[in-house]
Amino acid sequence: MKHKILSRRRFFAMASAGAGSLVFSHELLLSTPSTEAQLIDPLRVVTLGKTGIKTTLLGMGTGYSGYNRSSNITRAGVAEFLIKTAYEKGIRFFDCADSYGTHPYTKDALKSYPRESYVISTKIWVLRGGIPEPERPDVEIVVDRFRKELNTDYIDIVQLHCMTSGTWTDDQRRSMDGLEKLKAKKIIRAHGVSVHSFEALNAAAESPWVDVIHVRINPFGESMDKKNPEEIIPVIKKLHDTGKGVIGMKLIGNGSFRNDPEKINASIKYVLGLRTVDMIIVGFEKPEQIDDYMQRMKNTII
């Protein structure tokens, strides 16, 4: 069946239809499980797939515009302050990566809090570029460095960063096996992948190795693996239904509609209304943004 493209006006009319319940036609969503309407609690405790890892529905991303071991918040000199502020406001998930350069700031921001009270997710860069060194050591060596940078005995989640090839599960077998061994030793609790192509997304959905995955999802097709969300939704459902932890990212289209409250509200409602995304992460750059997004979620009914 060929689906129509919704106009901006019609999309928002549909998004706000009814007494606050999530209403999207089949023209935008393939299916949405019908459950009783509920307000969103950004600090609700969720479990990431079958991993047993529990954390808050809303997490903090530390890598907006991240590359070469820096990101907007490290370049602005506010990384430690923002991470600590997010924790104090109740957020318990912090998404890092080697290419963001946020490990030391995360360590310093969270050093006063019990290690078991928060979840750290980080990512290994195995491709060319992205980090200063040309060498790509075995994952055991890299994760050992990560633990020292974070001053922690274990890391909750370690992922392969930014996979784009549809054959990444073959190409990265050595790294995958290394992370599997680290999980068996309880040095990491779960492993997975962040993907940046539809082919890589499908490969992740087929792979039993993936415990946790970052997926790019919003209702506008911005900074996603496909412009049409309907093509992404079934793959996300498959990931969810096979027990993988699904973390939604790029809700704000990589910042494209950061100044459009109408779109932000619609995206929160849309992504969490799918009920196949376990949690979402947002790359906060100012403390007031944390309060803003938490309040937006509290005002949203799905």
Question: Residue 87 has what pLDDT?
Answer: 98
Kindly state whether residue 27 falls inside one of the protein's structural domains. no
Among 41, 92, 6, CA closest to 293: 41
User: Given a cut of 70, is residue 13 above it in pLDDT?
Assistant: no
Residue 252 placed within a domain: yes
pLDDT digits (tens, 9 = 90+) for 275-299: 999 999 999 999 999 999 999 999 9
| CATH code for the domain in which residue 79 is found | 3.20.20.100
Q: In total, how many domains does the chain have?
A: 1
- Is 267 contained in some domain? yes
- What is the value of pTM for the model shown? 0.88
**pLDDT higher than 80, residue 250:** yes
Collect all residues with Cβ–Cβ distance below 8 Å to 264 and sequence separation of at least 6: 251, 252, 257, 258, 293, 296
Give pLDDT, residue 138. 98
What range defines the domain where residue 67 resides? 44-298
Give the Cβ contact number of residue 32 at 10 Å: 18
Does the residue 224 lie in any domain? yes
pLDDT at residue 11 is higher than 60 = no
- Angle in degrees, CA 199, 120, 197, rounded to 5: 10
211, 204, 125: which is closest to 166 by C-alpha? Answer: 204
